[in-house]
């Protein structure tokens, strides 16, 4: 039994499995916005020191006028393009599995996958995600970008914890079952 | 405020939103099979007197060697074909919305939608489902038949109750918000 660092997906989706409406519209998240309630995010982030994020999701965050909120972490933006690194943000266009295995082989805190759907798909195809925090927002969006794309291997999970909140958000925490 | 009968979807899906693997394979439900645990099904069924089910799902149940388990209910099998009625089972090829509105206008207990994905899609497009019991099975199937198809209107829900069970099944109960 090693104490290998875990790769953790922490993300919100609608009950029908979308992380955004078409055109990366994240407006639906406002139905669970609640003054003073961060849904455990700060606590979660205190347990990680590295962030993996897809380029499109990264650019979406930037375009919304936010500073990318992990200045104290090691951030890897996964991209097919060659983009110069910027401060603690590394643009990585190499093999994703190799990066994750290398990070897991190093000592450190958790590795946070911040989406989006493309990087989640690649990570799941390689069976690299160890834990899942899926927050289900009480809405059927009807269309949009699905968190889970088709054509991945089956993966059994162990439910670790369920929390529900005033605004109707339900946070499910699963761990991969090591067969 | 009327006490109109409610149309209730009661169904299980994987965390990635599938109600079956390809070829209607329901084997994944075995991961939550638990002697003596019916996940509230008997109690739920005691509150309904009418069942709506798609023809393919109905035939799947029959083909699995089960007797269709609602001999004491009024059962509507929704089909595009003309099939003679059989006992309490009516094969309905008319307009689905008209049927549901007619049933809701009558007095009675709840109306249970037993799937599958096609009838759920038609009902959601017409905003006819009033309550949702979605049981999330702790598995990522990777591919299969999605409970929720694309291209439906958005629908806000109110979380009514969350239950979690020993085998890792989480049952979410939502009610439609009447705007």
**Contact (CB<8Å) B139/A150:** no
pLDDT at A104: 97
Give the gap in angstroms from C-alpha B59 to the nearest C-alpha of chain A. 25
Q: Is B17 exposed, middle or buried (0-12, 13-18, 19+ CB in 10 A)?
A: buried
pLDDT at B61: 85
* Chain A contacts to B (CB-CB under 8 A): 15-17, 28, 31, 124, 132, 134, 136, 138-143, 146-148, 150-159, 162, 164, 168-170, 172, 174
Q: Which residue of B has its CA nearest to A172?
A: B170
Residue from the list A31, A136, A162 with its beta carbon closest to the beta carbon of B156: A31
Residues B45-94: tens digit of each pLDDT: 999 999 999 999 999 888 887 777 788 899 999 999 999 998 889 999 99
Q: Which residue of A has its CA nearest to B140?
A: A155
Distance CA A55, CA A86 (A): 14
Mutant choice from A20, A140, A152 vs B, greatest count of B C-beta within 10 A: A140
Query: Domain coordinates of chain B in residue numbers?
Result: 7-176
All residues of chain A having their beta carbon less than 8 Å from the beta carbon of residue B141 are: 154
**Contact (CB<8Å) A15/B138:** no
**A-B Cβ pairs (cutoff 8 Å, strict):** 105
pLDDT at A157: 98
**Contact (CB<8Å) A15/B134:** yes
Residues B103-144: tens digit of each pLDDT: 999 999 999 999 999 999 999 999 999 999 999 999 999 999
**Contact (CB<8Å) A15/B162:** no
Residues A4-40: tens digit of each pLDDT: 899 999 999 999 999 999 999 999 999 999 999 999 9
Contact B35, B156 (CB under 8 A): no
The CATH architecture assigned to A7-176 reads 3-Layer(aba) Sandwich (3.40)
DSSP B124-176: HHTT---EEEEEEESEE--SSEESS-SS---EEEEEEEEEE-TTS-EEEEEEE
Mean pLDDT of chain B: 94
All residues of chain A having their beta carbon less than 8 Å from the beta carbon of residue B16 are: 17, 147-148, 152
Q: Which residues share a beta bridge with A54?
A: A78
**Whole-prediction pTM value?**
0.95
Averages of pLDDT over each 10 residues, chain A, 179 residues:
84 98 94 95 96 94 79 94 92 97 97 96 97 98 97 97 98 91
Which H or E run includes A137? strand A131-137
**Contact (CB<8Å) B142/A134:** no
What was the ipTM of the complex prediction? Answer: 0.95
């Amino acid at each position: 039994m090693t104490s290998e660092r875990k790769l953790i997906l922490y993300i919100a989706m609608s009950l029908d499995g979308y992380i955004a409406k078409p055109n990366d519209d994240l407006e639906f998240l406002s139905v669970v916005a609640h003054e003073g309630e961060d849904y455990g995010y700060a606590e979660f982030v205190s347990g990680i020191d590295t962030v993996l994020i897809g380029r499109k999701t990264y650019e979406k965050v930037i375009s919304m006028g936010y500073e990318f909120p992990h200045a104290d972490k090691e951030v890897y933006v996964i991209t097919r393009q060659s983009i110069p690194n910027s401060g603690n943000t590394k643009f990585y266009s190499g093999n994703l599995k190799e990066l994750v295995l290398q990070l897991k082989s190093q000592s450190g805190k958790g590795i946070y996958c911040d989406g989006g759907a493309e990087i989640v798909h690649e990570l799941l195809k390689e069976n690299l995600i160890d834990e899942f925090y899926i927050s289900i927002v009480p809405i059927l969006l009807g269309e949009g970008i699905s968190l889970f794309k088709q054509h991945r291997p089956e993966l059994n999970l162990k439910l670790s914890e369920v929390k529900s909140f005033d605004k109707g958000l339900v946070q499910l925490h699963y761990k991969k079952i090591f067969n």
